[in-house]
Chains A and B, each alone.
Chain A
């Protein structure tokens, strides 16, 4: 219990440091807002083009797909605000050999590197995501049920856990691959596939996106939950699967950190 309290306090300190830094660059809020709009536009433009050709694809109408894009945008906000900045910092640590200083500190290294940097202004994306939900449901002419909303919130937690675990896996790769400037880019581009309802992927690709890189769990499942179409068994499967995924990631991290030899030694 003492340990949990200590880590919560540490998290508070790290958040405060990032928060103060963000307040220094208030103009960024506007810039972030504009880029968020631009990214939402990229996510939507192909959607307009695709649904210009067909009224529904693999059982998904335009409005229903908007929900998937909404979850995608929301998670992108989480990813870019809370996960990616630390990833960039971590890659830099490995490259420069300053990871030694992190490892020397009397706290869990994974915790320290994962919380070293937050970009609060990126949260604008979360707002764009919620805006998309509202628009989609207004044009569907109905609202999600309470259990549906609850299920989607549970799935939001599991998706964040999966995203974070994927991040840990990518960072672990940074221990083995020397020149790693592109890892963040790889991470976002894998995530990009999550903007489409997972049922458009057939065969092996669909298997990969459900079980290996669980993108389907992150955006399609919560959208289905909001629509009230997600079976309970899938929900349970998502929770169990994401916890398993997170444990694997933690194990890989511990393995890689053992592999780490600092830049100077």
Chain B
């Protein structure tokens, strides 16, 4: 399981993953249809905005925000928690462990390989956003802005992936981590900026939200895409995001390793 063999296998795994994603494209369409909540929220907040702007958000700002939220969700979504808990339950994780490559890398490539197809969906949506909300409210207008967004979306993907690994691995400790995943989804929907921008929270709650990881999974990349922050503020938030990436990376890998030890005990 050395780094070199893993790196050598990576292009092939990505290619297989991409072929799988193409083969199961109908499944991806279902996924995309299932993540249309930002569009519903857009309809709702547009109804609110018809009575006048909310904070800095008017009709056009809401359009830019929620279409961006839709795009970010497409790019960062991860189903590794379900995958791990399913494989633990069915025992197929044992097969994965026999291969000379970490199962986590296999999961990660499966998710990553789906991204090209998702980009194909995201680009027209971004186009619509530029047309409907105006370029400066839909996408970064400078190269630096795109750079910040790229950093933000990679961080968001990593946080989502690590949280998924963590939740999935918990199924090795608990009988069923299904309930925990539900709670996670609830927290994600409310606290991440998925249903409404995090700045709509009252100040006290806002402070708590800034310390939780969810806001960095969705709200931050969306804000970076729609150009809500100045450079200094953006860097501060990105710093907090990458601190979460590092922290969750260490914790989830440690829990994964301990969980695997238990799994071995089950099988043997």
| A, B from the same assembly | yes
Q: Which residues of A contact B (CB under 8 A)?
A: 31, 35, 38-39, 41-42, 45-46, 49-50, 52-54, 57-58, 177-183, 185-186, 189-190, 192-193, 196, 199-202, 205
Q: Which residues of B contact A (CB under 8 A)?
A: 24, 26-27, 30-31, 33-37, 40-41, 43-48, 51, 54, 82, 179, 182-183, 186, 189-190, 195-196, 200-202
Known A38-B183, A42-B186; contact A182-B31, beta-carbon cutoff 8 A: yes
Q: Is the CB of A196 within 8 A of B44?
A: yes
Instruction: For residue A91, give the distance in angstroms from its CB to the closest CB of chain B.
Output: 12
Q: Which of B41, B47, B179, B200 has the most CB of A within 10 A?
A: B47
Q: Is the CB of A42 within 8 A of B43?
A: no
Residues on the B chain within 8 Å of A39, using CB = 186
Residues on the A chain within 8 Å of B24, using CB = 178-179
22 cross-chain CB contacts under 8 A: A38-B182, A38-B183, A42-B189, A42-B190, A49-B200, A49-B201, A50-B44, A50-B48, A53-B48, A53-B200, A54-B51, A178-B27, A180-B27, A182-B31, A189-B35, A190-B33, A192-B37, A192-B40, A199-B47, A201-B43, A202-B46, A202-B47
Residues on the B chain within 8 Å of A190, using CB = 33-34
Q: Kindly state the separation between the CA atoms of A192 and B201 in the bound complex, as whole angstroms.
A: 22
Instruction: For residue B34, give the distance in angstroms from its CB to the closest CB of chain A.
Output: 4
Q: Kindly state the separation between the CA atoms of A48 and B53 in the bound complex, as whole angstroms.
A: 17
Q: Nearest 5 A-B pairs (CB), nearest first?
A: A200-B47, A186-B34, A189-B34, A179-B27, A53-B54
Q: Is the CB of B196 within 8 A of A46?
A: yes
Instruction: For residue A200, give the distance in angstroms from its CB to the closest CB of chain B.
Output: 4
Residues on the B chain within 8 Å of A185, using CB = 31, 34
Q: Chain B's interface: helix, strand, loop or mixed, by majority?
A: helix
Q: Is the CB of A177 within 8 A of B190?
A: no
Q: Kindly state the separation between the CA atoms of A61 and B179 in the bound complex, as whole angstroms.
A: 33
Q: Is the CB of B201 within 8 A of A35?
A: no
Q: Chain A's interface: helix, strand, loop or mixed, by majority?
A: helix
Residues on the A chain within 8 Å of B51, using CB = 54, 57
Instruction: For residue B88, give the distance in angstroms from its CB to the closest CB of chain A.
Output: 16
Residues on the A chain within 8 Å of B196, using CB = 46, 49-50
Residues on the A chain within 8 Å of B43, using CB = 200-202, 205
Known A38-B183, A46-B195; contact A200-B44, beta-carbon cutoff 8 A: yes
Q: Is the CB of A177 within 8 A of B27?
A: yes
Residue on B nearest A28 in the bound complex, by CB:
B179
Residues on the A chain within 8 Å of B48, using CB = 50, 53-54, 57
Q: Kindly state the separation between the CA atoms of A216 and B186 in the bound complex, as whole angstroms.
A: 23
Q: Kindly state the separation between the CA atoms of A94 and B182 in the bound complex, as whole angstroms.
A: 25
Residues on the B chain within 8 Å of A178, using CB = 24, 26-27
Q: Kindly state the separation between the CA atoms of A192 and B186 in the bound complex, as whole angstroms.
A: 12
Q: Kindly state the separation between the CA atoms of A189 and B40 in the bound complex, as whole angstroms.
A: 10
Residue on A nearest B41 in the bound complex, by CB:
A46
Residues on the B chain within 8 Å of A31, using CB = 179
Known: A46-B41, A46-B196, A178-B24. 16 other contacts (CB 8 A): A39-B186, A46-B195, A49-B196, A50-B48, A53-B48, A53-B54, A53-B200, A54-B51, A177-B30, A178-B27, A179-B24, A179-B27, A180-B27, A186-B34, A199-B47, A201-B43
Known A53-B200, A177-B30; contact A38-B186, beta-carbon cutoff 8 A: yes
Residue on B nearest A53 in the bound complex, by CB:
B54
Instruction: For residue B203, give the distance in angstroms from its CB to the closest CB of chain A.
Output: 12
Q: Is the CB of A196 within 8 A of B179?
A: no
Instruction: For residue B178, give the distance in angstroms from its CB to the closest CB of chain A.
Output: 10
Q: Is the CB of A182 within 8 A of B30?
A: yes
Q: Is the CB of A193 within 8 A of B179?
A: no
Q: Kindly state the separation between the CA atoms of A199 and B37 in the bound complex, as whole angstroms.
A: 17
Residues on the A chain within 8 Å of B44, using CB = 46, 50, 196, 200
Residues on the A chain within 8 Å of B35, using CB = 189
Residues on the B chain within 8 Å of A205, using CB = 43
Of B36, B47, B186, the residue contacting A58 (CB under 8 A) is B47
